[in-house]
């Protein structure tokens, strides 16, 4: 039976409607995760919630202990992860507060611990990462969006940047030439670590701003927060539709 976790990004340190049952402090061989696991019921479904940046939003994207976060979820028995991410829109139709369900990712980060497979190995391990997001979980999220009446974009290439600064306009031009549609800072190595531990992982992206050079106005945190709050209304509708499905529980 699947067990679902939700990872929250910028502006999502708690989930509206989550009936909290307990909180668990987790310890891992890779250090401490971003915070405690919050266990509760959401739309009739038991879920675990973890705030990626900490519950006070204090951990910048390049300092997140991604290995500890993913290991803690696996150790708790989680099989499926729905990761919310705040992004900038590169492609013309990726405007705030649009929901995008990415299907591919390009990693531009550096200096982050990218793998569990590095020490005490009997042999070198490689994984197939051609599909970074679980196709089945993605399809179910896309179907839930349609069911909820959310005008989500069901494909997009996510550019994972180092942060914590936002990008230059020239960098965004380069990302567009590379085929990227949205840009964020936390998509990697989160996705590959989940893949290494054989967990189904998919992302729901909230476009919070036009990427650098794509709009005339200065990018401000106030505008980003406002767009995230608006976009998460659609995110909540998607979760409600997803968890109300009769076939949610699968082996």
Residue 7 pairs with which residues in a beta bridge?
50, 83
| DSSP-assigned letters across all residues of the chain | ---EEEEE-TT-SS-TT-EEEEEE---BTTB--SSPEEEEEETTEEEEEEETTTTTT---GGG--HHHHHHHHHHTT--EEEEEEEEEE-STT--TT-EE---EEEE---SS---STTSS-SS------SS-S-HHHHHHHHHHHHHHT---B---EEEE---SSPPPHHHHHHHHHTT--EEESSSTTHHHHHHHTT-EEEEEEEEEEEPTTSSSSPP-HHHHHHHHHHHHHHHHHHHHHHHT-TT----
Q: What is the pTM (predicted TM-score) of this model?
A: 0.93
pLDDT tens figures, 187-234 = 999 999 999 999 999 999 999 999 999 988 888 888 888 999 899 999
For the chain, give the percent of residues with pLDDT over 90. 78
Mean pLDDT on 87-91: 97
How far CA 42 is from CA of 62, 75, 116, in Å, comes to 30, 21, 31
Least confident segment among 138-147, 157-166, 212-221: 212-221
pLDDT attached to residue 17:
74
Q: Which domains does the chain have, with CATH numbers?
A: 4-115+127-243 (3.40.50.1580)
Q: What is the pLDDT of residues 7-52, one digit of tens each?
A: 987 656 567 678 889 999 999 999 999 999 999 998 888 999 999 9
Q: What is the pLDDT of residue 71?
A: 98
Residue 250 has pLDDT above 50, yes or no: no
């Amino acid at each position: 039976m699947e067990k679902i976790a939700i990872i929250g990004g910028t502006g999502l340190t708690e989930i509206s409607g989550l009936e909290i049952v307990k909180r668990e402090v987790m310890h891992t061989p890779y250090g401490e995760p971003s915070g405690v696991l919050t266990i509760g019921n959401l739309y009739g479904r038991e879920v675990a919630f973890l705030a990626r940046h900490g519950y006070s939003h204090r951990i910048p994207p390049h300092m997140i202990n991604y290995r500890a976060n993913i290991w803690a979820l696996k150790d708790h028995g989680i099989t499926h992860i729905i990761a919310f991410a705040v992004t900038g829109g590169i492609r013309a139709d990726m405007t705030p507060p649009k929901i995008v369900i990415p299907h591919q990712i390009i990693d531009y980060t550096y200096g982050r611990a990218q793998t569990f497979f590095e020490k005490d190995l009997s042999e070198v391990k490689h994984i197939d990462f051609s599909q970074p997001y679980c196709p089945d979980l993605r399809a179910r999220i896309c179907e839930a969006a349609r069911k909820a009446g959310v005008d989500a974009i069901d494909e997009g290439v996510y550019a994972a940047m180092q942060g914590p600064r936002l990008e230059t306009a020239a960098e965004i031009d380069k990302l567009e030439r590379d085929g990227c549609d949205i840009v964020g800072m936390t998509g990697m190595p989160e996705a590959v670590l989940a893949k290494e531990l054989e967990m189904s992982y998919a992302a729901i992206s909230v476009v919070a701003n036009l990427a650098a050079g794509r709009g005339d106005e200065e990018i401000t945190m106030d505008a980003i927060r406002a767009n995230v709050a608006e976009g998460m209304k659609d995110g909540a509708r998607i979760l409600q539709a997803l968890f109300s499905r009769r076939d949610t529980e699968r082996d």
